[in-house]
Amino acid sequence: MGFLDLANGGDGIVSSKTIVSPSDLKGKKVGATKGFTNYFFLKYVMNQNGLTDSDLTIVDMPDDLIASALLAGELDAGAVMEPAISQLVAQGDFKLLVSSKDTPGVVTDIVLARTASIREKEAGLLGVMRAWLDALAYWDQHRQEANSMMAKEYGMTLEEFEQAIESVRWLGKQDNLDYFGTESAKGQIYNISQQVIDVAKTEGMITNQVSPSTLIDGTLLTKLQ
């Protein structure tokens, strides 16, 4: 239905400094969480660099244990999120191999709705979408005040919150329209969705037949005023 933000460095693959590029993950042990965002990001990076499952060992583990496994020398690399990325790099023995900043549009936060709800509750859903755009407009015009309110909600200091959102890009109406594209010129969402579907099928996470066109509906975006 719509996208809230794109990861802009908040997700990534951290490795030992001996690994120079993603292609060097061949033969290495890499931590990720099957079915979670970091796993799909790892698979995307692998696909982009011609790596298959037989080229490396993916160690399936909870995402909050990957950093400690790296520190313990149990992994060569791991797909992690902030603040683990910064903490590991600051430790000195690790490097950020690739992040969502290098792959714009791949890691996103989205708003989903049932097909029936889009038809039956259109006014309410449009209201939610307008509220998001209003919030973005307020943030753009009153950033320190807005950041202070959000930092308090998350139990963070203003400085911590402002540092955290550096790795996120919030999306407005035009960003969403560009990401969805049109019927004749489909946007990036279709390509990314197909890659996620392919991974999910290969891993046995889904067994039914689905396609991006059956999952994506951006009609409400065009009705936003």
What's at 33, amino acid-wise? T
Residue 199 has pLDDT above 70, yes or no: yes
DSSP state of 207: -
Q: Name which residue leads in pLDDT, 8 or 194.
A: 194
Same domain, 93 and 117: no
What is the tens place of the pLDDT at every residue in 88-115?
999 899 999 999 999 988 998 888 899 8
Element (H, E) at 219: helix 219-223
Number of domains into which the chain is organized: 2
User: Distances in Å between the alpha carbon of 174 and those of 117, 127, 223?
Assistant: 23, 17, 12
Residue 4: band (very low, low, confident or very high) from pLDDT cuts 50, 70, 90: confident
Q: Which of 58, 77, 99 finishes a domain?
A: 99
Residue 8: band (very low, low, confident or very high) from pLDDT cuts 50, 70, 90: confident
Instruction: Let me know: does 6 contact 188? Beta carbons within 8 Å.
Output: no
- Round to whole Å and give the CA distance between 67 and 110: 26
Q: Which of 46, 72, 99 finishes a domain?
A: 99
Which residue segment(s) compose the domain that 6 sits in? 2-99
Same domain, 80 and 160: no
Sign of the CA dihedral with 144 first, then 146, 152, and 156 last? negative
Tell me what the mean pLDDT of segment 194-223 comes to: 89
What is the tens place of the pLDDT at every residue in 146-195?
999 999 999 999 998 998 898 889 999 999 999 999 888 999 999 999 99
Same domain, 157 and 193: yes
Instruction: Let me know: does 30 contact 58? Beta carbons within 8 Å.
Output: yes
Residue 44 token pair: 């995307």
Residue 89 belongs to a domain with what CATH number? 3.40.190.10
Instruction: Let me know: does 158 contact 149? Beta carbons within 8 Å.
Output: no
CA geometry: angle 15, 18, 24, nearest 5 deg: 75
What is the tens place of the pLDDT at every residue in 29-69?
999 999 899 999 999 999 999 999 999 999 999 999 999 99
What is the tens place of the pLDDT at every residue in 14-33?
999 999 999 999 999 999 99
How confident is the model at residue 225, as a pLDDT? 72
